[in-house]
Chains A and B, each alone.
Chain A
Amino acid sequence: MGSNSISKMAARHLRILSGCNGALLSVRFFSDSTLAQEPIASTAIDSASVSPSINTAENHSQLNNNKKHSAPSSLKHAELAKFSAIADTWWDAEGPYKPLHALNPTRLAFIRSTLCRHFRKDPYSARPFEGLNIVDVGCGGGILSEPLARMGATVTGIDAVEKNIKIARLHADLDPETSTIEYCCTTAEKLVEEQRKFDAVIGSEVIEHVADPAEFCKSLSALTVSEGATVISTINRSVRAYATAIIAAEHILHWLPKGTHQWSSFLTPEELVLILQRASIDVKEMAGFVYNPLTGRWSLSDDISVNFIAFGTKNS
C-alpha cells in the first residue's frame, strides 16, 4: 500500500519534470503497476507526442491481443534492425563492439563475485559456476555467454536477432568449452511461456534497448528460480551519461555507431530498483563501471553515474 502511493508520487514528480523539459526528460513508464503503458517509439523524441498516456480499458485489451499474436512485446523493431546490420562484427575486437569487449572482463568480475557469494561457490576455482543454469538474455554474438560457459555454467543464450544467434553458434563451436552453449532466437517472454527456469538470469546492456522495461523485468523475474539471481547492467539516465555515452562515445570518439543508444531509454538506478522490486527481485548489490582513458581499461567502482550493474535475488 505504502509503496504504491510513493510510486504514484514519484510518477507525478517525473511528469512535472517532463513538462518542463520535454525533449531531454521523457517519462518512460512510471505509473501504477495495474495500468500498462503503451511502448514509447524509440526514434521520435518529440515533446508534443511523448506524454504518458494512462490506458483506457480499450488500449489495455489491444495490448493483450498483441501478446497473444506473440509479437515480441518488450522489444523495439528499430533496435533489432540496428543490431542486425552490424551482426558480422561481433567478434572483431577492433570493430564497433570494441567497447563491449573491453567492458567484458569488468562485468564478468562483478558477476563472478556476486554469484559465487550468493550460491556459495569457491571463488578460487577455475570453474565456479559448475552446476548452475544461466541464461544470457540478449546475448548478441555470445560475448558474455562464452566466458560464463568456460567458468563451468550450463549456458543458454537468447537473442531476438536471428543473425546474432547464427554468429554466436559459429563462434562457440570453435572451442570445446563453449560448444555446449544452447543458443535460441527467441525472447524472454517466449521463454517464460515455455516455463523455463534458471538459477541466474543475466540481462547485460539490454534493458536500454527494450520498449517496456517493466515488462522485461517481469519476464526476467519469471525466468529466475526462487532464491535465484538476476543481474542487469545498463546506462544511467544522467546528464553525465549523455555527455559520455552519447556525445563522447557516439559522436566524438566514434566508439559506437551513432544512434546506438537513446538517452531517453536509459534508466536511473532508482527506477531499476523499483521496477525490479515490483517484479519480486530485491536488488542486493550495485556497482558502476568507470573507464580510464589513459590505460584504456574499465574498472568496477562506486560511481554509478554512467554505467552501472545491479545484482538482485528473487524472493519466494
Chain B
Amino acid sequence: MPLTKHLSVAIIDSNPALGKSNFIKKEDPPDPRVSTVTPATISFFKEIGAWQYVQQHRHAYFDKMQVWDYTGLGYTKYNARDVNKEILGCVVENKVLHSSLLSCMQNTEFRKTIYPSRLTSMALLPSSSSISVDSTPSATTLFTKGHLAKLDLSDGKSLYAKLVVGADGGKSRVRELAGFKTTGWSYSQNAIICTVEHNKENYCAWQRFLPAGPIALLPIGDNFSNIVWTMNPKDASDCKSMNEDDFVKILNHALDYGYGPHPKSISSGSVDMFSWFRGDATLSAKECFEVPPRVVKLASERMVFPLSLKHANNYVSKRVVLIGDAAHTVHPLAGQGVNLGFGDASTLSRIIAEGIAVGADIGEVSLLKKYEAERKPANIVMMAVLDGFQKAYSVDFGPLNILRAAAFHGAQYISPLKRNIISYASGEQRLPLPLPLFT
C-alpha cells in the first residue's frame, strides 16, 4: 500500500525457516501441518502478491464438502456452486504458506529486518511531561519520554518501536509481557494429525462427528489427504503409538461404518417436508450421501496437539496490538483459526494505512481501538459458534441427536440457510446472521 511503504518493519522470530533460503522439495510427501484457507484469505494473499508463490507449490482447492455424524440420522453436502463460486477453500501446507509470505516480503520494496531471536522483555514508560529542549531526540530519549516501546531480545540486541504487533501465537510472549488478561478453557481433547494416501484423487472435504470428537479428511493434492482427528487425550496417545496398519484400519473404520450407520439420502421422489422452504434450491441439496475415499496408507508421522479455547480480553493497549492466535485460539473443527488471524492482519494493515492518511501516530490507542472494534465482535461470534458446535456434538443424548439431525437436514435442504453458512465459513460474511447493528 502506498501509504505505508515508508514504515520500517522489524520481524522478531526465532523460527529457523526464516533464515535459510526456503527450498521445498516437490517430491516430499505433504507435511501433516496444514491449514485450510478460505476464499477471503486467498483474496488477501492475492492482494499482497503472495498467492503466486503458493501456486508454485502443492496446494489443493476443493469445491465440495460433506458433514455428517455417527448417528446416521442426517448429513449435509456443500458445493461452491451453491453460492456461485468455484471453490470453498484451499488446503495448503503451513511450510508453503510460510515460504510464500517470506518470498513475497523479500520481493517487496520496504525497509525490513529479520531478527532471528526471541523477545525477552518489553518496556513502555508512561508519557512524561518533562521539560527538556532537545532538537533531535535520540531513540533512548524518546523512550524515556514514553513515546516509543523498547524491546530486548535474547541475543542481547535492543529495539525501539512505535508499534509492537504481537503475532506470536497461542502462547504469545508479547501478550504476556504487555499484561493482557485472557479468558478460556481447555477442551479435554487432543487432535491427532497425519497425512494419508488414497488410490485416487480427492476433491472433497469430509468431516464426520464421532462421539469423542470430529474426524476431518482434507484433500492436500495428488492422492494425498490430511487427517485431523479430535479425541480424548488417552485415545490420542494410543493412536499415536499403535502400528501403522492398525492405525489405517481404525481410520477407515471411523470414516465409514464405525460407531454408527450411514445416513440415508432423501431421494427426490419421497415426501419432502422442506419443499416449501426450498425456494431456489441449491445444487448440493439433491446430492446423495457418499462414503469418503478409503485410506490406503499412512504417509507421514502422527502428531498430537492439545486443544483449547483462549481469548485475550483486550487486543490493544498503548503501542501494542495482538493479532491471530495471540489474540484468540479456537477449536480446529471448522478450519477457521488461521483465517481469523489473516482477517486480523488484513484489518490492522488497513487501519494503519487509514491512520497514516490523516497523520495519526500509528501507536496511539484511539487508532488501534478501531481495529479492535472491527475484529473483536467478529472473532468472538466465530469462537462462540465453534464452541457451540463442539459442545453440541460431544453429547450422545437421544433428543440432542435428533436435534442435530434436524440441523443437518435443515442445512442440507433450506437453501438460504446453506448459502448463509457457506458465506460465513468462506470469510465473505462477517457475522452468521445479518445483524444490522454490526454492519
Q: How far is the CA of A173 from the CA of B146 in the complex (A)?
A: 12
B134 interface contact, C-beta 8 A: yes
B397 → A minimal CB distance (Å): 40
* Per-residue contact bits, chain A 75-113, to B (CB 8 Å; 1 contact, 0 not): 000000000000000010100000001101100110010
Contact of B365 among A93, A173, A175, A294 (CB under 8 A): A93
Q: Which residues of A contact B (CB under 8 A)?
A: 91, 93, 101-102, 104-105, 108-109, 112, 124-126, 146-151, 170, 173-176, 179, 294-295
From 117 to 160 in chain B, residues with beta carbon under 8 angstroms from any chain A beta carbon are 127, 129, 131-132, 134-137, 142, 145-147
Q: How far is the CA of A125 from the CA of B146 in the complex (A)?
A: 28
B9 interface contact, C-beta 8 A: no
Cβ–Cβ contact B358 & A173, under 8 A:
no
Take A175-B361, A294-B437, A295-B373 as given contacts and tell me if A126 and B356 are in contact as well, using a CB distance cutoff of 8 Å. Answer: yes
Q: Which residues of B contact A149 (CB under 8 A)?
A: 359
Take A174-B127, A176-B142, A295-B373 as given contacts and tell me if A147 and B358 are in contact as well, using a CB distance cutoff of 8 Å. Answer: yes
Closest to A146 in B: B359
Q: How far is the CA of A170 from the CA of B130 in the complex (A)?
A: 8
B11 interface contact, C-beta 8 A: no
A286 → B minimal CB distance (Å): 19
Q: How many residues of chain B get a CB closer than 8 Å to chain A's CBs?
A: 30
* Per-residue contact bits, chain B 358-377, to A (CB 8 Å; 1 contact, 0 not): 11110011100000010000
Q: How far is the CA of A139 from the CA of B359 in the complex (A)?
A: 16
B433 interface contact, C-beta 8 A: no
From 327 to 369 in chain B, residues with beta carbon under 8 angstroms from any chain A beta carbon are 354-361, 364-366
Q: Which residues of A contact B357 (CB under 8 A)?
A: 109, 112
Cβ–Cβ contact B137 & A176, under 8 A:
yes
Closest to B370 in A: A297
Cβ–Cβ contact A173 & B134, under 8 A:
yes
Q: Which residues of A contact B147 (CB under 8 A)?
A: 174-175
B28 → A minimal CB distance (Å): 43
Take A93-B365, A126-B2, A174-B146 as given contacts and tell me if A108 and B359 are in contact as well, using a CB distance cutoff of 8 Å. Answer: yes
28 contacts between A and B (CB under 8 A): A93-B364, A93-B365, A101-B366, A104-B358, A105-B355, A105-B358, A105-B360, A108-B358, A108-B359, A112-B357, A126-B3, A126-B4, A126-B356, A146-B361, A147-B359, A147-B360, A148-B359, A149-B359, A150-B356, A151-B358, A170-B129, A170-B131, A174-B127, A174-B142, A175-B142, A175-B361, A176-B136, A176-B137
Q: Which residues of B contact A294 (CB under 8 A)?
A: 437
Q: Which residues of A contact B6 (CB under 8 A)?
A: 126
B365 → A minimal CB distance (Å): 7
B420 → A minimal CB distance (Å): 23
A294 → B minimal CB distance (Å): 6
Contact of A124 among B2, B142, B355 (CB under 8 A): B2
Take A174-B146, A294-B437 as given contacts and tell me if A125 and B2 are in contact as well, using a CB distance cutoff of 8 Å. Answer: yes
Q: How far is the CA of A173 from the CA of B131 in the complex (A)?
A: 9
A-B CB proximity, top 4 nearest: A147-B359, A150-B359, A108-B358, A124-B2
> How many residue pairs, one in A and one in B, have C-beta atoms under 8 Å apart?
61
A39 → B minimal CB distance (Å): 35
Q: How far is the CA of A93 from the CA of B316 in the complex (A)?
A: 15
Q: Which residues of A contact B355 (CB under 8 A)?
A: 105
* Per-residue contact bits, chain B 400-439, to A (CB 8 Å; 1 contact, 0 not): 0000000000000000000000000000000000000100
Besides A93-B364, A126-B4, A150-B359, 9 more A-B contacts (Cβ < 8 Å) are: A112-B357, A126-B356, A146-B361, A150-B356, A151-B358, A151-B359, A174-B145, A179-B135, A179-B137
Q: Which residues of B contact A124 (CB under 8 A)?
A: 2-3
Q: How far is the CA of A91 from the CA of B4 in the complex (A)?
A: 25
Q: Which residues of B contact A126 (CB under 8 A)?
A: 2-6, 356
Cβ–Cβ contact A173 & B366, under 8 A:
no
Q: Which residues of A contact B360 (CB under 8 A)?
A: 105, 147, 150
Closest to B147 in A: A174
Closest to A127 in B: B6
Closest to B134 in A: A173
A92 → B minimal CB distance (Å): 10
A200 → B minimal CB distance (Å): 14
Q: How far is the CA of A124 from the CA of B354 in the complex (A)?
A: 11
B147 → A minimal CB distance (Å): 5
Take A101-B366, A170-B131 as given contacts and tell me if A112 and B358 are in contact as well, using a CB distance cutoff of 8 Å. Answer: yes
B367 → A minimal CB distance (Å): 8
Q: How far is the CA of A91 from the CA of B318 in the complex (A)?
A: 14
From 234 to 284 in chain B, residues with beta carbon under 8 angstroms from any chain A beta carbon are none
B374 → A minimal CB distance (Å): 10
Cβ–Cβ contact A109 & B146, under 8 A:
no
Q: Which residues of A contact B3 (CB under 8 A)?
A: 124-126
B74 → A minimal CB distance (Å): 39
Q: Which residues of A contact B146 (CB under 8 A)?
A: 174
| Chain A CB within 10 A, most for which of B135, B145, B354, B360 | B360
A116 → B minimal CB distance (Å): 10
Q: Which residues of B contact A104 (CB under 8 A)?
A: 358
Q: Which residues of B contact A147 (CB under 8 A)?
A: 358-360
* Per-residue contact bits, chain B 1-25, to A (CB 8 Å; 1 contact, 0 not): 0111110000000000000000000
A126 → B minimal CB distance (Å): 5
B121 → A minimal CB distance (Å): 23
Closest to B138 in A: A176
B430 → A minimal CB distance (Å): 14
Cβ–Cβ contact A150 & B361, under 8 A:
yes
B163 → A minimal CB distance (Å): 13
Contact of A173 among B4, B5, B137 (CB under 8 A): B137
Q: How far is the CA of A89 from the CA of B93 in the complex (A)?
A: 52
Q: How far is the CA of A102 from the CA of B369 in the complex (A)?
A: 12
A269 → B minimal CB distance (Å): 24
